[in-house]
Structure 1
Amino acid sequence: MKHAASHRMQGFTLLEVLGALALFAILLMGVYSGVRTATHTVRSGEAAIERVDQVRSAQQFLRRELAQARAVPLAHTDKGDPIYFKGDAHELRFVAPLPGYLGRLGPQLQALKLVSNGDGTSRLEASFALMPPDGSAPKSLGDPEVLVDHVRDGTFSYRSPDTADRAGDWRNAWDDVRAMPRIVRIVLQLDGTSTWPELDAPLRVDAAAIQGQPADLLQGLQRKTVQ
């Protein structure tokens, strides 16, 4: 009996304590790893959702503004001919009213441009300038707004209006002063796993209509025949 009582009073050996500490440390490492993985998953999910929202908002903005493009000259050629729309593979300009209270300022010169980030990616920027009624140079309304960032590659293309003989063709640049494109296509390849659905934004106004040429003023609307 004395021997058993003496053994219980001795407590744990050093090896037993070290073993318990090692098991506890392994348990803590497992818990930390699980928390870290869960946190990373949550952050990745939030980033993916934010990216999807950014893409959706950018596409809605582009569709709305391009649909509201007006046949208002943004510049003139050396011969004095009005330029209603100007675009190439990475930049385009047109005139349209801005939504909400900003639209009360009148037509705005809007520019969409792919700008390099310097790291192999680009960002799609939108800039706005007020068109003074006296015909003076447009006045910037502030710094450009980033619509979509981290773009690996991107291009703009333009479809010409249909004619009685054939459908319009796609072009990599638009420099026709007599008309505006029928559709603007914006194709982007985003960095990461996010995707950019191909965007075809129709323009409804035909600049040729205000020049006395036989063309439809509203290109994108179906006409109804009156019986």
Structure 2
Amino acid sequence: MRHARGFTLIELLLATVLLVAGLALAFTTLGAASRTVTRGEAIGEHSERVRSVSTFLRRRLTGARPVGFAFDQTRAVAMRFVGEPQRMRFVADLPDYLGRGGPYLHDLSVVDDGEGVRLVISMSMVLAGEVVEERPERPPEVLADNLREVRFRYRALDERGRMGDWQDRWEASEQLPLQVEITLVDRNGRAWPPLVVAPPLAPAFSSFNVPLETQ
């Protein structure tokens, strides 16, 4: 009776090498797939973050109203829109479902804590042209963090009735600008899609250089 021949040492080593190579290939494939999924989730989260913040800012600005929230003693005019490179203040209604319906001062500002830039917003009720201070005071809410840069710019018609250049400051605080631009850049240098909003009820003739009384 003939006995079955066993595996030789070389055959066992070859089988082991093939098994190790197969496992290495499998782990490499799984790692690549995992990184792809993680990268896809990160891109999805970033896109959703950009969409939600941009939608919020657009809705707030398109809901802006020419309502005064303070009085400029030096110019003897009601302040309805104050725009700076890293701060913007205007009045807009809040929806009733937030439990804070009515006109509220929206105070958008940029905070740099040394580790990154944040875009925050504070809201205060406006009554009879003045801001009503809440007690206890509500802390600012963070709209976006982990940013490198946030910038606000403003635009109006010039004296010839043409679209003027973008300005870092909105000087005509008694009226709303024709357009507002918000630029946000992530900490890694990736710029968000440009956001340009036209507040409603902004006078089509608004200009930086033409006094309101003569328009």
* TM-score strictly above 0.5: yes
Larger radius of gyration: 1
1:14-33 matched pairs, under 5 angstroms: 14-33=9-28
C-alpha distance after superposition, 1:3-38 (max 9, x if no partner): x62x72xx3344543442332222112111111111
Alignment of 1:49 onto 2:30: no
Pairing partner for 1:36 from 31, 34, 39: 31
Do the aligned partners of 2:155 and 2:163 also contact (CA within 8 Å) in 1?
Answer: no
Which structure shows the bigger proportion of residues in helix conformation?
1
Q: Greater relative contact order (Cα 8 A, min sep 6): structure 1 or 2?
A: 2
Contact (CA 8 Å) 2:120, 2:140: kept in 1 or not?
A: no
Q: CA deviation at 1:183?
A: 1.0
Give the secondary structure class of the aligned counterpart of 2:34.
Answer: helix
Q: Which residue of 2 aligns with 1:74?
A: 69
Of residues 95, 100, 103, the one that matches 1:99 is 95
Aligned sequence identity (%): 33
Deviates more, 1:103-112 or 1:191-200: 191-200
Structure whose residues are more often strand by fraction: 2
RMSD: 3.2
Aligned length: 206
Q: Which runs of 4+ in 1 moved over 6 A?
A: none
Contact (CA 8 Å) 1:113, 1:126: kept in 2 or not?
yes
- For residues 119-167 of structure 1, what are the alpha-carbon distances to aligned partners after superposition, in whole Å with 9 as ceiling and x for unaligned? 4x42333332333569454334444132x33333332111135556554
Q: 1:117 to 1:29 in 2, by over 3 A?
A: farther
- What is residue 225 of structure 1 aligned with on the other side? none
How high is the TM-score relative to the length of structure 2? 0.76
Matches for 1:160-171 after TM superposition, within 5 Å:
160-161=156-157, 165-171=161-167
3-state DSSP class of the match of 2:64? coil
Q: Which of residues 80, 100, 109 is equivalent to 1:84? A: 80
Any unmatched runs of 5+ in structure 1? 216-227
1:145 maps onto 2:131 in alignment: no
Structure-2 separation of matches of 1:20 and 1:117: 59
Q: Partner letter of residue 151 of structure 1?
A: L
When normalised by structure 1's length, the TM-score is 0.73
